[in-house]
């Protein structure tokens, strides 16, 4: 009986994680996180018609993030929208045995941290989608967030009422809003590119920006641009061309993007800087944040990818999940990421081992004469000191007697 009870608990874990969080559901619709000029928020989509498993639900891409996190965009006018659909899109023909099924897409297998095929029970996909889109993420409980992450990453069966690719898009988008940028990007990449839907294209772009990995878009940039001519996808094509060493193509695409109304300024400069990171390019782009009063996912992702420091005051314009994204930014010095890592730990994005490892990196990089009294030194004493020293260090950490009240909790 205990074994059967445990299996039942695991099978219902994913659905329970969402249903239990229903009181925290936000009443507003999420909004796009792209900067002005990168696609106007669409009206809330009509209820999707019932879809059979394996077929995408018929719905347009929805707006992308709550306005407490990133600013909403404006769309280019119809007469300025580039006709990207006319350009042929190369299709990579996978053999049948190499194709990945949409019936069960996930990173965690049962027995390896996943909740199994029945992670969401028999819940209808449209009901789960409604909960997920309206969840006010990141959620307050660290442990509930960890359980929800496991459910979203599990190799679960695609629910009825939604197509497999759109189900991955919904999970990807919620993971991004929870601060789980790297897992969101990896989950989206588990779908073969020829199975992408408009909503999965959009969710994948958000995951790539949140994880500061614009190169993750290169496999789908051409097809994404063919979906509707948004300037963001045109600039994605330019960045990928630059990273591939095709400087002339990158310059041409960026010039076309500048012709779109509302597109320019720091958003295009950041795309140029990414494109200039490739070979055979002659771009030396300097980024100035003067006059920028709002951080967007576009600005965060491209600045972080190129090692451009973002003014601290701009982080006050976004939600706490962006700090969790920044905690994993590899181009920034570990000491610069400590405050963000503490936030990520409180959200459940960072494990205790990951947080201790980051503090260890800071400790190793600090001059021995400057280590005393630092949080990294206290953590080291808590792990390896004598019994009395360990207890004293733990009390000091828990008291939070420094400039970061989250550190004691983390």
Asked whether residue 304 falls in the same domain as residue 156, the answer is yes
Q: For residue 180, what are the contacts with CB-CB under 8 A and spacing of at least 6?
A: 149, 324, 349
- Minimum mean pLDDT range among 166-170, 219-223, 259-263, 359-363: 259-263
Asked whether residue 198 falls in the same domain as residue 326, the answer is no
- Please name which of 194, 286, 270, 191 lies closest in space to residue 236, comparing C-alpha atoms: 270
Asked whether residue 221 falls in the same domain as residue 344, the answer is no
- Please name which of 284, 274, 333 lies closest in space to residue 309, comparing C-alpha atoms: 333
Asked whether residue 187 falls in the same domain as residue 275, the answer is yes
Q: State which of 319, 353, 369 marks the end of a domain.
A: 319
Structure tokens at 159: 């629910």
- Please name which of 27, 22, 24 lies closest in space to residue 140, comparing C-alpha atoms: 24
- Please name which of 194, 199, 242, 197 lies closest in space to residue 219, comparing C-alpha atoms: 194
Phi, psi of 344 (to 5 degrees): -60, -35
Distances (CA, A) of 197 to 126, 229, 318: 16, 15, 28
Q: Containing domain of residue 210, as a range?
A: 2-319
Per-residue pLDDT tens over the stretch 203-254: 999 999 999 999 999 999 999 998 876 889 999 999 999 999 898 899 999 9
Asked whether residue 62 falls in the same domain as residue 12, the answer is yes
Asked whether residue 9 falls in the same domain as residue 120, the answer is yes
Q: Which residues pair with 114 in a beta bridge?
A: 110
Per-residue pLDDT tens over the stretch 96-140: 667 788 888 888 888 888 888 888 878 898 999 999 999 988 988
* 155 half-sphere exposure, CB direction, 13 A CA radius: 11
**Model pTM?**
0.77
Q: State which of 303, 319, 335 marks the end of a domain.
A: 319
**Per the structure, how many domains does the chain have?**
2
Asked whether residue 365 falls in the same domain as residue 386, the answer is yes
Per-residue pLDDT tens over the stretch 331-364: 888 888 988 998 999 899 998 889 889 988 888 8
Asked whether residue 256 falls in the same domain as residue 139, the answer is yes
Q: For residue 361, what are the contacts with CB-CB under 8 A and spacing of at least 6?
A: 334
Residue with tokens 């936030």: 343
Asked whether residue 149 falls in the same domain as residue 187, the answer is yes
Q: State which of 281, 304, 319 marks the end of a domain.
A: 319
Asked whether residue 55 falls in the same domain as residue 134, the answer is yes
């Amino acid at each position: 009986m205990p074994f059967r009870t445990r299996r039942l608990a695991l099978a219902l874990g994913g659905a329970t994680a969402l249903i239990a969080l229903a009181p925290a559901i936000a009443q507003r619709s999420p909004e796009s996180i792209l900067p002005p000029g990168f696609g106007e928020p669409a009206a809330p989509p009509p209820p999707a018609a019932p879809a059979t498993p394996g077929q995408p639900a018929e719905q347009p891409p929805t707006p992308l993030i709550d306005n407490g996190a990133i600013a909403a965009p404006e769309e280019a006018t119809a007469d300025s929208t580039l006709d990207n659909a006319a350009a042929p899109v190369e299709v990579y023909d996978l053999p049948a045995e190499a194709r990945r099924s949409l019936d069960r897409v996930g990173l965690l297998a049962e027995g390896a941290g996943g909740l199994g095929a029945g992670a969401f029970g028999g819940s209808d996909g449209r009901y789960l989608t409604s909960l997920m889109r309206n969840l006010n993420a990141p959620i307050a409980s660290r442990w509930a967030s960890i359980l929800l992450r496991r459910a979203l990453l599990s190799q679960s069966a695609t629910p009825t009422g939604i197509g497999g690719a759109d189900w991955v898009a919904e999970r990807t988008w919620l993971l991004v809003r929870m601060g789980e940028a790297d897992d969101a990007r990896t989950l989206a990449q588990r779908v073969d590119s020829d199975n992408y839907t408009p909503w999965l294209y959009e969710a994948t772009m958000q995951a790539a920006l949140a994880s500061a990995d614009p190169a993750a878009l290169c496999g789908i940039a051409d097809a994404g641009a063919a979906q509707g001519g948004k300037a963001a996808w045109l600039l994605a094509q330019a960045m990928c061309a630059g990273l591939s060493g095709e400087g002339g193509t990158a310059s041409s695409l960026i010039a076309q993007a500048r012709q779109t109304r509302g597109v320019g300024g720091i958003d295009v400069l950041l795309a140029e800087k990414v494109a200039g990171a490739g070979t055979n390019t002659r771009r030396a782009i300097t980024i100035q944040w003067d006059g920028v009063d709002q951080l967007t996912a576009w600005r965060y992702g491209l600045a972080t990818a190129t090692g451009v420091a973002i003014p601290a005051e701009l982080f006050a314009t976004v939600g706490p999940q962006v700090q969790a994204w920044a905690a994993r930014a590899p181009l920034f010095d570990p000491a610069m990421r400590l405050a963000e890592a503490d936030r990520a730990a409180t959200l459940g994005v960072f494990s205790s081992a990951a947080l201790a490892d980051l503090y260890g990196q800071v400790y190793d990089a600090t001059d021995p004469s400057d280590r005393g009294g630092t949080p990294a030194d206290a953590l080291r004493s808590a792990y390896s000191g004598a019994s009395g020293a360990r207890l004293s260090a733990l009390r000091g950490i828990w008291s939070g007697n420094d400039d970061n009240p989250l550190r004691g909790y983390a």
